[in-house]
Amino acid sequence: MAALGNENQLREKHPDYEPLVWAKKQAKLLAQKEKANQNSLIKSFSAAKLIEKDKQRSFNVGYLFLQDILSQLGLKQACKKIQAQTRIKYDLYAWC
């Protein structure tokens, strides 16, 4: 992501162009460069190759996106605030 500058800076740097027109053109160029840099990865697997014994091949990470959402919502702070204001002894955030 690139910072193009504010309107006054653009007028000083590029006096021949209208700032909004120049910024749109630059945004389009940056988007094209980013699209060109997107590479695809193809991984091939052999059904004949044996899997090593006692080696972990899968990981349980499905909770990570939920943990991020809960963090953004501020549920931990809300639960602590509710607990502080009431006589609840149970940790409300323990289920997360």
The 3-state DSSP class for residue 51 equals coil
What is the spatial distance between Cα 94 and Cα 96, in angstroms, rounded to a whole number? 5
- Percent helix, strand, coil in the chain, to 5, is 50, 0, 50
CB-side neighbour CA atoms (13 Å) of 69:
6
Distance CA 21, CA 2 (A): 17
- The rounded distance, in Å, linking the Cα atoms of 24 and 33 is 14
| Chain segment 32-82, per-residue pLDDT in tens | 888 887 777 788 888 888 888 888 888 888 888 888 888 888 888 888 888
pTM of the model: 0.36
What would the pLDDT profile of 3-24 be if each residue is shown by its tens digit? 777 888 888 888 888 888 888 8
